[in-house]
Structure 1
Amino acid sequence: MAKTRPSKSKSKSKSKSKSGKREKSVLNSTGAFSTNPHATTAPSTSNSNPPIAKLDEDLLAEATALLHESSSPDAALPLLKKYLRTNPNSPQAYDLLGEAHIELGDIEAAFAAFSHSASLDPEGQVPPVGTGPEKFLWLAQLSSAETAVVYYERGVEIIKRWLSTPTALDPAATAERGLPKKLVSALCGLAEIYMSDLCMSPDAESLCERYVTEALLALPESAIALQTLASIRISQQRVEDAVAALKRAFDGWKGLPPAHEDVPPYADRVNLSKLLIETGEYEVALEVLERLKEEDDQLPDLWYLGGWCLFLLGEGEKESKGGEGEWEESWEAAREWLENCLLLYDALEWEDEGIRDHAKEIMSNIEKELPEGMDEGEGAGGDGEGGEEEGEWESDDADDEMKD
C-alpha cells in the first residue's frame, strides 16, 4: 500500500498575515456567503458635465469593481462612504459597505452596515429597489445562535420566494447569484446550529432532519448538504450512513479541476477530510488532503489533519496482524506532516492552540517508538543492534572481494 508523504521540500514560510494579526483556524470557521450584488456597468461619459445622479452611479460602479474584481476593500470604502453621503437610503451601498468591512476584519462595522441595509429593505426586494436575501445570510453568520436562526430563516424565505417567481428577476441574474446554492448553504447553516449551540432544544434532531432534507431536495448532489447529512448521522451514531454520504460528496467533485463551480470551497473540503478521519476513512481522507495540498500548502490545519490521519492509519496497521512493517512508514510520514504544521503555525502566528498542542503530543508518541534519526529499516522493538552488525558484515565481504 503506497503511503502518502509530503514533498521533499517542507513548507517553511515565514510570512505573516497581511493584517499582522494571528490567523484563524479553518477548523473553527464557518463557510461564508458572498453577497456579490450586481452593480450596473459604469455608463459612458460622453457629456462633459454629467448630472449628479450619473456621477453617483459611476461612483458605486467603481466601488463595486474595486471590491469584487480587484479585491481592494480599503480603496472601495471611501468611495462607498462618499456615495452614501448623497444616497443615504441605498441598501445596495450598505451591502457593499458591509462586505468591505468584512474583508477588512471590522465585524462590528459590517454588522451595522448589513443591519442598516435590512432596515431599508426588510422584504429583500429585487434590485434596484432592494438587494435581496444575502444581507440576512451575512447577519446570521455574525450573530449568536438564536438570532442567527431568525436571520437564516428570513434569508431562506426570501430565496424561496425569488426562486418560485422567476419573472421577478432576470434568469441570467438568478443563475449568477447562485440562489439554489445559497439556499442550501442557509439550510445547512440552520442544521449546524441545531447540532451545536442549540442541540439541547427539544426539537433539535427533527429540525436538523428537516433542514438537511430540504437542502438535498433543492440540490440532491450538493457536497455541502451531503457533508451536513453525514454530521447528523455521526451524531446519531449511524456511522455507515455517514460514510456513504461523505463518499458520495467526494465522488461528486474529485475528478473536477479546483476552479470548477461544483467543487466546494477549500474550507468545506478541509472539513470533509476531518469528517472522513472521524469515521475511520483514512485513505479517502488522505486523498482529499493531498488534493488540497496541491492547491494551497500554507494552511497549518491541512498539515495537522494529514499528520493525525497518518498516525491513526499507522496505529491501525500496528495493531493488525497484516500491518507488519507498514506502520513505521505511516508514522514517519505523519511526523513530516506535523513538522510542517508547526513550522507554519509559528510563521503565520496561528491562533488555534489546540492543533499545536495535539500535533506536539502525536509527535511525542511517535518519537517514543521511532526516534528521529533511526536508521532506515530499524523498527521499534526490533533488534536494531543486530541489524547494524549484519550491515557491517556485508560491507566487509564486499571489501574482501575488491581486494581479491
Structure 2
Amino acid sequence: MGGTSKVKGRRRSKRGSTRGDRKALTELPKEPKKNPQGKQSRRKSQDKETETQSKTNYSVRQLLSQATDCMDTFNYELAQKFLQRAIEVEPDNLQVLECSGNLLIEVGELEKAKQCFGRAITLSPDAGHSKYMYMGQLFEGDEAVEYFKTGIELMKKEKERQEKEPEAACADNKTTVVTNGDIASAYCSMAEVYLTDSCLAADAEERCKECLEKAIETDKDSAEAYQIMASYWLSKDDKEKAKKFIEQSLSLWLPKMKAIEEDELSSEGPTFDPLNPCSMTYQNRIGTAKILMELEMNEIAEEILEGLLQEDDQVIQVWYMLGLMNVEKKSVESKAPARFFLTMAKKLYLKLRCDDEPVLLHTEELLSVLGPGEGLDESWLKKQEESDSDVTEEDVLSSEDDSDDDEEKVMDRKRKGKEAEEEKMEH
C-alpha cells in the first residue's frame, strides 16, 4: 500500500467478538436506532397484540418459539415476557433457562444470566456444553477456566457419541453437532483468560501455551489458535515466533477473503460456506491487525482494516487504527488520510455516545499534533472521489431510519451480529 489509504465500497456482513483481545481498544457500542413515529405506533400495536396472545394457553414449546422469534428481531422486552410465562409454567425447563440466560446477556443483566445458567447446570450437570461455555464468558480467572474445562470435556464426549451413532445424532434436532473447530475455539477461550484476567498467575504463560497447543492439535486449521499464539509470543517479546504464527493464521483465511472481494473464488469443496466464508470474526480480524501493527507489518494490517471498513463503517476501532497507522508513517502524504480517519473516529465516538475516554483523548491528541491542513485534506479527498469510493462522511454519520428498507437492513445487520456472537459463545 502507498502513503494514502484507498477506502473502497462497503459490504455489510456479520461481525462477532472474542473474549479478551488483551483488553485493548475494545469494540464500542452503537447508538440505538430511533424509529420514526409511524413505525413506533405500528410496532407498539403489534407488540400489544402479541403480548395478549402470550396470556393464552400456549405450551412451553410455543412460548419458547415466540420468545426466540422476538429475540431474532431484537424485541427483547416482549421476548422476556414470553420467557417469564414459560418459566412460570415450567421453572426447571433447561431450554427456557438457557434461552433466558442468553436474553439476559443481550440486555446486560449479567448477574441474572449467571443465575439462569447456574440453575441449568444444577439440573443437568453432565449434559449440554453450551451453558458451561456461557458461564466461562461471564466469569473471570480460575472460575472461567473451570467452566471452559467442563464444557470441553462434555464436547469431547458428545463428539465421540456422535461419531459412534451418527444416525441418532442427526435425528436428534436438539443436539448441536460438535466439531474439532468448536473444541479448538474453546481452548482458545481458555488461553485468552491466561492472557488477560489471569496473566499475573505464576503459571499463566505455561497454561496459556498448553491451551493453544491443544487447540492446534485438535484443529490444525484453526486460524484463531495461530493468531492467539502470535499474541502469546508477542507478550514474551519474541517477534520472530510471533510473525511465524500470525503468517500461519493469515494463510488460512486472507487469500480466500481476497478472492471473494475480487470475485475470483473457485470451488472450495464441502468446507466452504458462502454465507460465512471467513473463519475469523470481525473482532478477531481487528486483533490480527493489532498484532501486525506491533510487528510493523503495516501493509497487511492496512489491507485488513480497509476490508473491515468495507464490511461495517460504524466501528470506531477501525477508523482509529487506520488513523494511527497513517500518523506513524510520518510522511507528508499520510497526514491527510490520518486526519480523515481520526476525524471520523471522533465524530462516530460522539454520535454513538461511547464511554471509552482514553480512545477519545488519544484521537484528539493526534489530531492536535497533525494540525488543520485543509488544503492537503481537500486534495486527498478529491483523489478518493476519483477512485470511486462511496464512503463519505455524510454516509457514515447519517441516521438509518429514513425508510422501511433502511430499517430492514439495520435489523439484518444486528441479527447477523447476534448470530455470530451466539455461535462464538456456544463454541
> After superposition, where does 1:285-324 map in structure 2 within 5 Å?
285-312=301-328, 314-315=329-330
Give the C-alpha shift of residue 75 in structure 1: 2.4
Q: Is the 8 A contact 1:194 1:205 kept in 2?
A: yes
Q: Is the 8 A contact 1:6 1:337 kept in 2?
A: no
Aligned to 2:216: 216
| Residue 28 (str. 1) matches residue 26 (str. 2) | yes
Q: Secondary structure at the match of 1:298?
A: coil
Rounded Cα–Cα distance in structure 2 between residues aligned with 1:342 and 1:351:
12
Aligned to 2:80: 77
| Residue 139 (str. 1) matches residue 135 (str. 2) | yes
Q: How many residues align?
A: 319
Q: Is the 8 A contact 1:74 1:100 kept in 2?
A: no
Give the C-alpha shift of residue 63 in structure 1: 2.4
Give the C-alpha shift of residue 309 in structure 1: 1.4
Letter in 2 for 1:279: L
Rounded Cα–Cα distance in structure 1 between residues aligned with 2:7 and 2:212:
39
Rounded Cα–Cα distance in structure 2 between residues aligned with 1:191 and 1:275:
16
| Residue 265 (str. 1) matches residue 281 (str. 2) | yes
Rounded Cα–Cα distance in structure 1 between residues aligned with 2:67 and 2:277:
26
Cα shift readout 1:39-82 (whole Å, capped 9, x = no counterpart) = xxxxxxxxxxxxx9983322223323333x43433322211111
Rounded Cα–Cα distance in structure 2 between residues aligned with 1:336 and 1:5:
10
Rate the CA distance shift 1:376–1:215 in 2: closer, same or farther, 3 A: closer
Which residue of the other structure, out of 295, 302, 308, is the alignment partner of 1:279?
A: 295
Letter in 2 for 1:27: L
Aligned to 2:343: 339
Aligned to 2:145: 149
Rounded Cα–Cα distance in structure 1 between residues aligned with 2:377 and 2:108:
48
Aligned to 1:158: 154
Q: Is the 8 A contact 1:282 1:310 kept in 2?
A: no
Rate the CA distance shift 1:376–1:361 in 2: closer, same or farther, 3 A: closer
> After superposition, where does 1:175-214 map in structure 2 within 5 Å?
177=177, 179-214=179-214
Letter in 1 for 2:373: E
Q: Secondary structure at the match of 1:28?
A: coil
Rounded Cα–Cα distance in structure 1 between residues aligned with 2:352 and 2:377:
33
Q: Is the 8 A contact 1:27 1:270 kept in 2?
A: no
Rounded Cα–Cα distance in structure 2 between residues aligned with 1:377 and 1:108:
50
Aligned to 2:241: 241
Higher relative CO (Cα under 8 Å, sequence separation at least 6) belongs to: 2
Aligned to 2:60: 56
Letter in 2 for 1:146: D
Rounded Cα–Cα distance in structure 1 between residues aligned with 2:27 and 2:312:
17
Aligned to 1:93: 96
Which residue of the other structure, out of 115, 119, 142, is the alignment partner of 1:116?
A: 119
Cα shift readout 1:122-161 (whole Å, capped 9, x = no counterpart) = 11x2xxxxxx111111111111212111111111111111
Q: Is the 8 A contact 2:323 2:341 kept in 1?
A: yes
Give the C-alpha shift of residue 179 in structure 1: 4.3
Rounded Cα–Cα distance in structure 1 between residues aligned with 2:209 and 2:179:
21
Q: Secondary structure at the match of 2:78?
A: helix
Letter in 2 for 1:139: M
Aligned to 2:373: 372
Q: Is the 8 A contact 2:70 2:79 kept in 1?
A: yes
Letter in 1 for 2:140: S
Q: Percent identity?
A: 28
In structure 1, runs of 5+ residues without a counterpart are: 10-24, 31-51, 126-131, 316-326, 379-404
Q: Is the 8 A contact 1:74 1:104 kept in 2?
A: no
Rounded Cα–Cα distance in structure 2 between residues aligned with 1:201 and 1:352:
27
- Taking structure 1 as the reference length, what is the TM-score of the superposition? 0.72
Q: Secondary structure at the match of 2:370?
A: helix
Rounded Cα–Cα distance in structure 1 between residues aligned with 2:281 and 2:85:
34
Give the C-alpha shift of residue 8 in structure 1: 10
Q: Secondary structure at the match of 2:197?
A: coil
Q: Which has the larger radius of gyration?
A: 1
Q: Secondary structure at the match of 1:75?
A: helix
Cα shift readout 1:279-312 (whole Å, capped 9, x = no counterpart) = 1111111111011000100111110111111222
Q: Secondary structure at the match of 2:25?
A: helix
Over 4 Å off, 4+ runs: 6-9, 171-179, 374-378
Q: Secondary structure at the match of 1:280?
A: coil
Which residue of the other structure, out of 348, 353, 360, is the alignment partner of 2:352?
A: 348
Q: Is the 8 A contact 2:27 2:316 kept in 1?
A: no
Rounded Cα–Cα distance in structure 1 between residues aligned with 2:350 and 2:6:
19
Q: Is the 8 A contact 1:269 1:288 kept in 2?
A: yes
Give the C-alpha shift of residue 196 in structure 1: 2.5
Q: Secondary structure at the match of 2:207?
A: helix
- Taking structure 2 as the reference length, what is the TM-score of the superposition? 0.68
